[in-house]
Structure 1
Amino acid sequence: MKAVAAAIGLSAAFGSQAVAADLGGSCCADLEERIAELEATTARKGTRKVSLTISGYIAQEITHWDDGGESNTYIHGLGPTQTSHVKFNGQATIVPGWTAGYLLRIQDLTGNAFSGGANAINQFNATKNDPPNAQMAFWYLQNKDLGKVSIGRMAHAAKSAAMFTDASGTQIIDNYTFLAGFPQLIIRSGGDLNPTSLTWGQLAFCYSQALPLGGDCNGIVMNGVRYDTPTIGGFSFSASWGEDDFWEIAGRYAGEVSGFKLAFGVGYSEMHDETTTGAAVARDKDSQFFQVGGYAQHLATGLFVHAAYGYEDNNDTLLLNGRRAKNGEHWYVKSGIRKAWLPLGATVIYGDYAQYIDQLGPAALALGATSSTMDRFGGGIAQEIDAAAMTVYLKYQHYEADMSGAALSPAATNLDDADLISLGALINF
């Protein structure tokens, strides 16, 4: 028995030494390597009490355009508000039911097709690389029963209330704004680039922000205070106010009813701030913008329709060039099918049509225009790749327009059409 006990003890001793050797050998080396890898790929935060989420996407397009007298191919982003960006979102629980948080969103404006100025992307210039900027920076307090109050630079109550109802998966890449639509391209007249001041954006101009937005006339982030109600039965309401000064209200609904996915939004804003995003075009501003939009998708078939309407009342504002700002309106419809035919993810095939009526910018008014109609129609196909959180797409857009006015020159009444074909991709992270 003593011999057996001694043998067992010796075996245990050698076994423990073997285990110790394993723990100090390749086992621990692998573990330390894995820990180092996790540390290298983990976002750091200043305090363990506040969570931190990093997200965003990268989006770029290759666009071939033809204005009837020239054609070319440009590489650009989806600037400015839907361009490539990274978001830092933090949140902490104060007491049960109460949370505090913040959001910082930084944009990459490389290849900003929307930006104006001397170096705007147009027939004379293929690229404009604006610097990155902090588009949003705000903090908030939220109660699950009372709602949420946010303060800082943010998207306000009615921002994109109509446009964001588009749940087809193509809202970012194709909508009724000119954010990725080359508003600075000059409209060719009888084959000539004359007058050079007449761009497509001058026939889709919004005075709320003094920008050629087309639709979503007040959809720019600004400093202010915003309140959002809790969502009850799919409904929510928002209100916001900002300095010198503007205010907005909006209502939204999202849900599923009888086999249909539904989303609706309505918003109203008043803008009196003379120093908004675009270059000042008037000493005083008094613009009201109303918008409404909706989306319906039959879940069984994937068939969908999205529509939006906006009206901007500029109260006959006197512009710096001596002209009076007109009231403008626009409407948009997109329809198609969203279906998972491939194992990659959903495929979206759609057609869309937009019309911009009397949205005459300062340069168009200076030429003597008193009314205008611009039509934009096209469509596309988008393929979602779920494994890579990615969407690859191909889209086509056709622009055509008419202006009238007793003082217009013949060159300004004989406007050529333009065509754009874009291949792009968006990948989320």
Structure 2
Amino acid sequence: MKKRAISLAIALAGSVVSGQTVLANEVGDLKIQIDELQKRLEMVEQADEKVVKSKKKGVTVQISGQVNRGIQLADDGVENYTNFVDSDNSSTRVRFIADAPLTDALSLGAAIEMQVESNSTFNMNQTNSESSSGSGTASFTERRLEVMLTHKDLGKLWLGQGWSASDGTAESDLSGTALAASSFQGHAAGFYFRDAAGNVASDDAGDGTIDSVYYLGDSFDGLSRTDRLRYDTPSFGGFSLATSLAQGDRWDLAARYNGKVGGSKISASLGYADAESNDSSGYDSSLSGSVSVLFPSGFNVTLASSSKDLREGSALANNNADPQFYYTKLGYQADLFSIGKTSFSVDYVLGDEQQEAGEEMKGYGFQAVQKIQQYGTELYFALSRYDRESMDTEYQSLTVGMLGARVKF
């Protein structure tokens, strides 16, 4: 339609000035301008609508992100809570990814990704559930601030704030329900348990530790995101290796596999993190691993386990604690609706001696996620019950439910 309109404009312009030699030059200039405009319109139509052209020649910038909001319901045995939250399982964020191809094999990139959460589930608990102002509790933190150099045959080099090599090694998950709940219990992370007398037990040992769901059931997921220099090998048959040197004289190693075996998808990770040289750390090293298998039938299973080697002289080491983490999930995916895949799962989490010797936290849960593929949207539901057991204190059970939606753009 645009081409026809432009062609008609040219024809009309030519007929109007026909025979008027005094305007011949102006008409010629007009035709040139219209031709140039037509070329530009065609280029815009063909360009990827997700890519923004940088002012710097040869550089493209992709802008993307997501908003994740939900309703959190909690029952700690004494009080009920209703919170309007941002789920820390997959927080609200925005990112800018720049890419500049240097050769056919080599490219230079950069990433800025910021996390913006109002009433993050990581912070919401019995002590700050109510907000009299109605503005909630807000956090604005960096996720990625880094530059990358990628070679298709030699691998990838990362410099700056971002994922350490071992980050994510406890979180392999092909269930389709990780948004609702995973080895990281983000939907209930901030809540505390109440003791038998009804008191909120935020630091029972009195040693400054935080006894929330997250800290009692931490997956010890490597060095997480941090300022580091990281290198990844290329993928060989689905296998890859990575290592990073992080701020505070820490370092880590990771091995990963992502591929198919006999029609089943497999995602597996193993990570080792060394923090022995970091005086502020309470442990010397951690080991974390996970594997998730999605069968052709839609059934899937996920397993994860982690442990920490405590630093001699630390409070937990002095009490002969041995921090461990275990997680398992059984799930099923099906095409129940034309709008997108539906996923269900049940999971179990065990955090052992993570804050006190002789103590453990167990959790059981159900999750459901419905994709709306066309609109980049996922609707999700999670319901989890947690129990905390200790040698000298009796605790009440904690139940947390979450209903929400994530929209990607």
Counterpart of 2:382 (choices 395, 398, 402) is 395
Rounded to whole Å, the distance in 2 between the matches of 1:124 and 1:131 is 14
Match of 2:94 in 1: 86
Cα displacement string for residues 153-198 of structure 1 (whole angstroms, at most 9, x for unaligned residues) = 11010101130x2122222331122333233x23112251154534
Match of 1:253 in 2: 257
Rounded to whole Å, the distance in 1 between the matches of 2:263 and 2:14 is 65
CA contact (8 A) 1:294 1:308 kept: yes
Q: Structure 1 residue 336 and structure 2 residue 331: aligned?
A: yes
Match of 2:196 in 1: 190
Give the Å deviation of 1:238: 0.3
Give the Å deviation of 1:292: 1.2
Q: Structure 1 residue 420 and structure 2 residue 400: aligned?
A: yes
Distance 1:322 1:311, change over 3 A: closer
Structure 1: runs of 5 or more not aligned: 1-11, 206-210, 275-281
Match of 1:290 in 2: 287
Within 5 Å, which residues of 2 pair with 1:205-284?
A: 214-272=218-276
Rounded to whole Å, the distance in 2 between the matches of 1:192 and 1:318 is 30
Within 5 Å, which residues of 2 pair with 1:340-355?
A: 340-355=335-350
The percent identity for this pair of structures is: 21
CA contact (8 A) 2:183 2:219 kept: yes
The residue type paired with residue 310 of structure 1 is S
Q: Structure 1 residue 153 and structure 2 residue 157: aligned?
A: no
Give the Å deviation of 1:152: 0.6
Give the Å deviation of 1:273: 6.5
Counterpart of 1:141 (choices 125, 136, 149) is 149
Rounded to whole Å, the distance in 1 between the matches of 2:306 and 2:180 is 20
Rounded to whole Å, the distance in 1 between the matches of 2:358 and 2:243 is 34
Give the Å deviation of 1:219: 4.9
CA contact (8 A) 1:114 1:178 kept: no
Match of 2:7 in 1: none
Rounded to whole Å, the distance in 2 between the matches of 1:376 and 1:73 is 20
Normalised to the residue count of structure 1, the TM-score between the two structures is 0.78
CA contact (8 A) 1:286 1:317 kept: no
The residue type paired with residue 298 of structure 1 is F
Rounded to whole Å, the distance in 2 between the matches of 1:13 and 1:176 is 68
Secondary structure at the counterpart of residue 170 of structure 1 = coil
Distance 1:322 1:264, change over 3 A: closer
CA contact (8 A) 2:202 2:212 kept: no
Rounded to whole Å, the distance in 1 between the matches of 2:381 and 2:90 is 17
Give the Å deviation of 1:294: 0.8
Q: Structure 1 residue 50 and structure 2 residue 30: aligned?
A: no
Normalised to the residue count of structure 2, the TM-score between the two structures is 0.82
Q: Structure 1 residue 16 and structure 2 residue 25: aligned?
A: no
Structure 2: runs of 5 or more not aligned: 1-10, 19-26
Counterpart of 1:171 (choices 178, 181, 187) is 178
Within 5 Å, which residues of 2 pair with 1:95-114?
A: 95-114=103-122
Rounded to whole Å, the distance in 2 between the matches of 1:349 and 1:372 is 31
CA contact (8 A) 2:113 2:143 kept: yes
Match of 1:202 in 2: 211
Match of 2:72 in 1: 63
The residue type paired with residue 419 of structure 1 is T
Structure with the higher strand share, 1 or 2: 2
Distance 1:213 1:97, change over 3 A: farther
Give the Å deviation of 1:322: 11
Rounded to whole Å, the distance in 2 between the matches of 1:121 and 1:173 is 18
Match of 1:279 in 2: none
Rounded to whole Å, the distance in 2 between the matches of 1:136 and 1:212 is 27
Secondary structure at the counterpart of residue 194 of structure 2 = coil
CA contact (8 A) 2:51 2:60 kept: no
CA contact (8 A) 1:178 1:212 kept: no
Secondary structure at the counterpart of residue 126 of structure 1 = coil
Secondary structure at the counterpart of residue 359 of structure 2 = strand
**Farther off after superposition, 284-293 or 134-143:** 284-293
Rounded to whole Å, the distance in 2 between the matches of 1:156 and 1:271 is 13
Match of 2:125 in 1: 121
Distance 1:248 1:134, change over 3 A: same
Match of 2:310 in 1: 314
Rounded to whole Å, the distance in 2 between the matches of 1:345 and 1:234 is 27
Q: Structure 1 residue 357 and structure 2 residue 357: aligned?
A: no
Q: How many residues align?
A: 374
The residue type paired with residue 291 of structure 1 is S
Secondary structure at the counterpart of residue 157 of structure 1 = coil
Rounded to whole Å, the distance in 2 between the matches of 1:49 and 1:325 is 58
Q: Structure 1 residue 180 and structure 2 residue 187: aligned?
A: yes
Distance 1:188 1:13, change over 3 A: closer
* Coordinate RMSD, CA, aligned: 3.3
Match of 1:378 in 2: 365
Give the Å deviation of 1:121: 3.2
Cα displacement string for residues 204-252 of structure 1 (whole angstroms, at most 9, x for unaligned residues) = 67xxxxx666114435311110000001111111000113211110111
